Structure 1
Amino acid sequence: MSTLLVIQAHPHIENSLSLTVGEQFVKSYQQAHPDDNIIIRDLYAKEGVPPLNDVTMAAWRKQKFEEPMTDEETALLKRHEEWLYEFINADKYVFINPMYNHFLPAEMKQYLDLTAVAHKAFKYTSNGSVGLLHNKKALHIQAAGSEYHKGGTWGTIKFLFKKALHIKSNQSCALMDLGDMYLTNMMKFYGVNDVEKLFIEGADAHRDQRQQILDAALAQAKSMAKNF
């Protein structure tokens, strides 16, 4: 039995493409893997992501030097540990988010900061950092109003060519999706090298095709869930 951890970073607006596709993936995954454990971690829930703030830093220092902590500090570190061990003990990850200004929502970035703990998710060696989360896999489900990944490698080449020649163009490419690049790099930093992608793109740029774009993504989610 495996544990699937679903990390949602979405403010729950109506008709969310990423949440709709994410829900379809989870439903299909459950049908294909009935014995697996599924955990939904909503980063927009009322309590929010445990913060990395002055209270956190003070608590870590006191913990290191075995100094007495306040109730607030103790409770905060307990939440940090619960979220961290939930992450490192999972076998599979699904990250669900909308693209915000070419990046991830702040809550997702904060979550990745929370899980980037030395000697837990990675370790330092004389040859650099080494990820500790082996034999795991991840899926990134992301919705964006424009198209960034449709053209593949050739689309990126055309984008760079136009930039180099100062040709005006509204074309986007994968290089502008800084959020997916960051998430993928963080997974590899942790040792998670098997990272799949499911992009729902162009629904704002092509409003008349919104349903077709959603239907295609839903079908892809069903297919990917079977062997994830």
Structure 2
Amino acid sequence: MVKVLIIQAHAHIEGSLSLTVAQEFVQAYQKAHPQDQIIMRDLYTQTGVPPLNDVTMRAWQKQKFDEELSAEEAQLLTQHEEWLTEFMTADKYVFVNPMYNHFLPAEMKQYLDLTAVAHKTFKYTNKGSVGLLHNKKMLHIQAAGSEYHISGKWGIVKFLFRKLFRIPSKESCALMDLGSLYLKSMMKFYGIKDVDALYIEGVDAKREQRDTILNQALEEARLKAQTF
């Protein structure tokens, strides 16, 4: 059975564009692939992502030297292992989030830190790190108030040209979406090469076009669900 893991990093608010589009994608995917299993991992639950804190570091140190763990340490490491296993055993990933200050929400970054484990999702070799997750695919659904990806490669060229000659401009481009670049980089680090994205952009810059932008994204979600 194919497992599709939906990793959602978004506050529970009504009218969210990324959540609305993600829900449409899931419904369309289930209809097109009724035999597949959908797993929801909400990073904004009350417990949140298992932390990488002092307790975690102390527990890993004890584990390394086969020392006895406290109840708190054992419970935390169990949570880490459960979340990591869930990630590793999935076949497809759908990351859902809003853009926060040109990056991902902190919870999403913490989730990626949790899943970046040597000898599990990647390994070190004398030629550098090698990803261990193969034959998997990823879709990134992200909403942003401005437009970053609509202009495509030409937008990047214009952005670099303006930077080179110090020409002032308020236009954005894909290079300013650091979160998307980071997420794709991490997927490549894990060995996941089949990556795609669905961006819902410009709803703040073009408020009068909000419904149009949303409807276009919903249609794109339905189309992507057919072949994902």
Q: Which TM-score applies when normalising by structure 2? A: 0.99
Matches within 5 A, 1:149-160: 149-160=149-160
2:65 and 2:143 map into 1 onto residues whose CA distance is 45
Please name the residue that 1:108 is paired with. Answer: 108
Please name the residue that 1:163 is paired with. Answer: 163
2:93 partner letter = Y
- Report how far residue 165 of structure 1 moved: 1.7
1:184 partner letter = K
Please name the residue that 1:225 is paired with. Answer: 225
Deviations 1:123-145 (A, max 9, x none): 01111000000000000000000
1:158 partner letter = K
2:117 and 2:201 map into 1 onto residues whose CA distance is 33
- Report how far residue 83 of structure 1 moved: 0.1
Please name the residue that 2:84 is paired with. Answer: 84
Please name the residue that 2:59 is paired with. Answer: 59
What SS does structure 2 have at the residue aligned with 1:4? strand
Tell me which stretches of 4 or more aligned residues in structure 1 moved more than 3 Å. Answer: none
Deviations 1:82-121 (A, max 9, x none): 0000000000000000000000000000000000000000
1:34 and 1:205 map into 2 onto residues whose CA distance is 38
Please name the residue that 2:175 is paired with. Answer: 175
1:144 and 1:120 map into 2 onto residues whose CA distance is 33
Please name the residue that 2:204 is paired with. Answer: 204
- Report how far residue 162 of structure 1 moved: 1.5
2:209 and 2:84 map into 1 onto residues whose CA distance is 40
Say if 2:117 is the partner of 1:117: yes
- Report how far residue 64 of structure 1 moved: 1.2
Deviations 1:138-176 (A, max 9, x none): 000000000000100001111111222222111000000
Deviations 1:58-100 (A, max 9, x none): 1111111111111100100000000000000000000000000
1:167 and 1:125 map into 2 onto residues whose CA distance is 44
Please name the residue that 2:20 is paired with. Answer: 20
1:186 and 1:166 map into 2 onto residues whose CA distance is 31
- Report how far residue 13 of structure 1 moved: 1.9
**Aligned-residue RMSD, C-alpha:** 0.6
What SS does structure 2 have at the residue aligned with 1:216? helix
Please name the residue that 2:133 is paired with. Answer: 133
Identity rate of aligned residues, in percent? 68
- Report how far residue 6 of structure 1 moved: 0.2
Please name the residue that 2:36 is paired with. Answer: 36
